[in-house]
Structure formats: C-alpha cells, structure tokens
Amino acid sequence: MAQATSPPEAPEVIDEARARRYSSDAAGLGRLRAGAFVAPALALIAVFLVFPALWVLYLGLTNYRLTGTAAAEPKLVGFDNFVKAVSDPAFWNSTWLTVQFVLGSAVIGQVVLGFTIAWLMRDRTGPLKRAVEGLVILAWILPSAVVSFLWVALLDRDGGTLQALLHLPGFAPLLDHPMLSIVVFNTWRGAAFSMMLYGAALGNVPPSHLESARLAGASGWQQLRDVVFPHIRGHILTNLLLISLWTFNDFTPFMLTAGGPDGQTEVLAVHVYKVALLGQELGYGAAVSTVILLINLVVAVFYLRLLRSKK
C-alpha cells in the first residue's frame, strides 16, 4: 500500500476552530454575508410593515386625532377606544355587514361558483374551456378601479346596461339592494382564484377512483360525495380561509358604493377609513384596526396550521 507523504506534525485531534474556518453552505456565503443579504429586506419589512402593526396597537390606546390638541399631545386613554367600539352600534353594524359580505361573496359565492366552473370544465379542453376560464380570470386581473366603474355602469339607475337588458325603468340595485350588489360584484370579481384552485385539486383526483365509482354505478352526485370531496377536503379548507381573509380585508366595495347609501355597505374596511381618516379619530380607528388584525391573526394561524399538517 503506497503511503502518501505528509508533514509529521499533522493534527490527530479534533480541531473545532479550524473546521469552522470557512463556511459549508453551497456557495460558501457564510453567515455574515447571508446576514447582509437578508438585512435590507428585513429593514424595510420592519419599518413599513411590522412597526405600523405594533403602532396600531399603541394608537388604539390613545386619544390621537389628526388635528387639535390631541394631535399635538396624544394621551393614553387605556381601553376607552375599545369600550367605545363595542358600545358603538355603528361598529356592530359594520361587523354584521362584514359577516354578510364575507359569507355571501366568499364562502358561498366564490366557492360555489368557482367549484361549479372547475367541475363543469374538468374533462374539457379546447376553445370553450379557454373562453370560460379566460373571462373568469379577466374579471380577476383587471384593476379594481376599472371593474368597480364597470359595475357602476352596469348597475346605473339611469340607463345602465342591466336596466336596459331587463327593461326595468327605475331599477337601481346599488341604491335598493346595495349589499346584494357588492356581494354579487365580489363573487364575479374573485371566482377565478377558487376556480383555479379547485381545477388543480380536481386534476389530482386519481381517475381510477372515479372510474371504479362509475363501474360500481355511482351517479354524478354520488361520485362527487364519495370520491371527489374526500380528496379535495384540504383544498376546500385552504380556499375558504384564504378567500375569507382577502374578502374581509377588501377595500374595493368602497369604490362601488363608498359605504353608502346610509352606511348600508360600510364593511369594517370602509368603516376604519371613514372613522379614522375622514372623521380623523385615529385612536378609535386604530382600535378597530386592532380588531381587524386580531381576526386576521386567528384566520392566518388556522391557515398555517393547515399547511403544516399537510406537510
């Protein structure tokens, strides 16, 4: 056996310090450089995302206003703002409207519509599928300012397209049924996400399972119940949590109805804007924001739990 030449004083013992002399990640970046890589992003996130979120907690405890003495020297008022919020019928009204909006447009509207389209299109290819999916996605990607106006034009009481189509003079959905209007609008606007998610989920249902159900004589509905739903249960939950979160935080209804008429569409997102930035009661607005943050937190933690359990 040939022996390699080597210096006799070669170390035999474990040498921790030397082993750490250079870094063993793929590019040899090392922790110091890696830290420098992460730092700019973290700094921006800290200043413009985390700090505001913490500050909103603090503001909620003050009597901060945009102008006047309370603007110069805000005082800590403890939980007064929260007490004010829970005893304010306008807050509860907004909360109730938000529940209607989220349940109606996200949980029912987008999920049912999105799933229906995905189910109808599951085995299809070609121009019909492309047309349907293209239109649904178009409604989703156009800027909110544009689609809001398109719906204003559609629903206008003096000669909107819907009125002309239905031959109903004086038909003014935005005034007579404002909540229904924004629910239908948001269903139209957001169905694409659910459609794509369920489309992907349905694609993952093994065809052999569906075939064996069909061979056993299961009807369309029985196939859905016994084969499809068990497979996509996780996707349904993911979908529900995400679109609920998004709809809950959606400011687009403001562009359609500005919260009106008479506050009938003043969901929490719009309520905060009106109270804090138009009404200039930042402290009270911050208290409502805190409530929104907490609700978001609960939904997000559920969502992340779900993601983890899937892994």
Partner 1 sequence: MAAIELRGLTKVYPGGVKALDSLDLAIPDGEFFALLGPSGCGKTTLLRTIAGLETATGGAVVIGDRDVTGVQPGARDIAMVFQDYALFPHMDVTDNIAYPLRIKKVGKADRQRKALEVGTRLGLDQLMDRRPGQLSGGQQQRVALARVMATQAKAFLFDEPLSNLDARLRLEARTFLKKLQRELGVTTVFVTHDQAEALAMADRMAVMEAGHIRQIGTPAEVFQRPANTFVAAFIGSTPMNLLDGTVRGDTLEVAGCKVPVPVSAEGLLVDGERIVYGVRPEYNTYSAEPAEGSLGGKVAIVENLGASHLVTLEVGDVLVQAVVPEGDEPELGVDGFATPRRDRALVYRDGELVSA
Partner 2 sequence: MTRFVLGRIGFYTLIAVLLAFFTIPLLWLAAAPFTSDPTYEVRVPDFTLDNFTAILEHPYALPSLLNSLVLAVGTALLVVLFAALAAYALSRVRLPGRDALLYALLLLSSIITGTAAMVPLFQLAVELNLIDSQLGLILILSGGLLPAAIFMLKDFMDSTPKSYEESARVFGASPLQIVRHVVVPLVRPGLATIAVWAVANVWGNFLMPYLLLSDVEKQPAAVIMYTLYTEGGQANLTLLSTFGLLYSVPVVLMYLFVSKKYGFRFHGGIKR
Q: Footprint of partner 1 on residues 14-73 (CB under 8 A)?
A: 14-16, 18-22, 24, 26, 28
> Whole-angstrom Cα distance, residue 17 to residue 263?
68
> Whole-angstrom Cα distance, residue 268 to residue 71?
24
CA dihedral for 163, 167, 172, 173, sign (positive or negative):
negative
Which residues inside 214-243 make contact with partner 2, applying CB under 8 A?
A: 242
Q: Between 5 and 208, name the residue whose CB sits nearer to partner 1.
A: 5
Cα 279 to Cα 14, 65, 91, 268, 293, distances in angstroms = 69, 9, 14, 15, 21
> Whole-angstrom Cα distance, residue 113 to residue 188?
9
- The only residue of 104, 109, 114, 160 in contact with partner 2, by rule CB under 8 A: 160
> Whole-angstrom Cα distance, residue 205 to residue 229?
10
> Whole-angstrom Cα distance, residue 80 to residue 222?
55
> Whole-angstrom Cα distance, residue 59 to residue 283?
5
Q: Least distance in Å: CB of 251 to partner 2?
A: 5
* Segment interacting with partner 2 (CB under 8 A) among 1-9, 80-88, 139-147, 228-236: 139-147
Q: Least distance in Å: CB of 310 to partner 1?
A: 25
By the rule CB under 8 A, 139 interacts with partner 2 = yes
Q: Between 2 and 32, name the residue whose CB sits nearer to partner 1.
A: 2
Q: Least distance in Å: CB of 33 to partner 1?
A: 14
By the rule CB under 8 A, 11 interacts with partner 1 = yes
Q: Which does 83 bind (CB under 5 to 8 A by kind): partner 1, partner 2, none?
A: none
Which residues inside 250-289 make contact with partner 2, applying CB under 8 A?
A: 250-252, 255, 258, 268-269, 272-273, 276-277, 282, 285-286, 289
